[in-house]
Amino acid sequence: MTIRDIAELAGVSAATVSRTMNGKDGVGQATRARIERLVAEHQFTADSSAQQLSTGRSRAIAVVFPLHVSAVVMHPIYPALLGALCDAAEGAGYDVMLLTVSSPDRIGHLIDAVLRRRVDGVVLPAAGPRDRLIHDLRAVGAPTVVIGHRSTVDGVGWVDCTHDKAAAELTRMMIEGGRRNLTLLNGPKSVSACRLRSAGFWAAIKEAKQRVVATEVETEWEADAALVRARELFAAKPRPTAVLCGSDTIAASCLEAAREVGLSVPGDVAVTGFDDRSLGLHTTPTLTSVQMPLRETGEAAAQLLIAMIEGDPPKRRHVVLPTRVVVRESAALP
């Protein structure tokens, strides 16, 4: 069933049906009503590749899956985020294409998809500050939204959450709980979220009324790398009485290191994580962590990108969503 079939049934031309379906004016009241009824009755939808061919737009967006980037493999693109993104896109009549850029030479494929308008815009769920992709996309004029990194590239939209505030809140909690020797066991600073957490941590330290000793240590995401760092922490001279970790995995390693040397948590040392997923519920003790607004992030990214594509006056090209600290055993008051 094509637009011409509908036209025939309505006794009009295909052009009129097209205008009606696209909400353009220049169609009489009665005609429009008749066509709309017919369309609804037959559940007719226009063929998207034909539309794409004549309009040069696809009504599809790409989510780029950056494989082999360890910082990302460790921080998997949460199903919740992707799911919400799809839902929002579909709600706006857009398809979602999943593209892999598993190596630099695959960038060409993505750029080609953009140039050929197989996609109207791109979401990068895990780009970093120095990601080539952002510039490449910008160069070909692709509407682009980055998740989890506050890009300064002109015209690029982003959605992020309050990593900094969450870190600050945790830090204040520790200080108010009487902890005076704090360590931020952060993830790699190449990840934007980790920089923000660092900023929040140090801001809270600075504004503290009490005198506290604070240090920051960087580790890779991997559990064993984190374990090594954590052991070093607990072997150090003035032992930290609170360790704020850059992820729940890191925090789990930290708990393990504490157990090894017989430190009680949270008695001797408080430990917190980040990225609250189910992991923190299963450690011993359970983990104080920070909940990310995953669904909201996915939804906001889709909406922002589509607004950019459709040239809507973008109220905000930059969205910051709130996080939530979840207190569990590992950081209860001493």
- What is each CA distance from 45 to 3, 28, 36, 97, in whole angstroms? 8, 21, 11, 20
Q: Does residue 140 touch its own copies according to CB under 8 A?
A: no
Judged by CB under 7 A, the residue of 9, 21, 182, 196 near DNA is 21
Site for DNA in 38-97 (CB under 7 A): 46-47, 50-51, 53-55
Q: Does residue 327 touch DNA according to CB under 7 A?
A: no
For residue 154, which of 162, 163, 144 has the smallest C-alpha distance? 144
Site for its own copies in 270-329 (CB under 8 A): 278-279, 281-284
Side chain identity at residue 117, one-letter code: R
Q: Does residue 63 touch its own copies according to CB under 8 A?
A: yes
**Interaction partner, residue 21 (its own copies, DNA, none; CB < 5-8 Å by kind):** DNA
3-state secondary structure of 189: coil
Q: Does residue 238 touch DNA according to CB under 7 A?
A: no
**In terms of DSSP H, where are the helices of the chain?**
3-10, 14-21, 29-42, 48-55, 70-74, 79-91, 107-115, 132-139, 163-176, 192-207, 223-235, 248-260, 279-282, 294-309
Cis peptide before 125 (omega within 30 of 0): no
Using the contact rule CB under 7 A, the part of the chain among 8-16, 128-136, 188-196, 317-325 near DNA is 8-16
Nearer to its own copies, 287 or 308 (CB): 287
Judged by CB under 8 A, the residue of 16, 144, 219, 249 near its own copies is 249
Q: State the Cα–Cα distance between residues 254 and 259, nearest whole angstrom.
A: 9
Judged by CB under 8 A, the residue of 15, 53, 228, 333 near its own copies is 53
Nearer to its own copies, 48 or 291 (CB): 48
Provide the binding-site residues for DNA, judged by CB under 7 A.
Answer: 2-4, 11-16, 18-19, 21-22, 24-32, 46-47, 50-51, 53-55
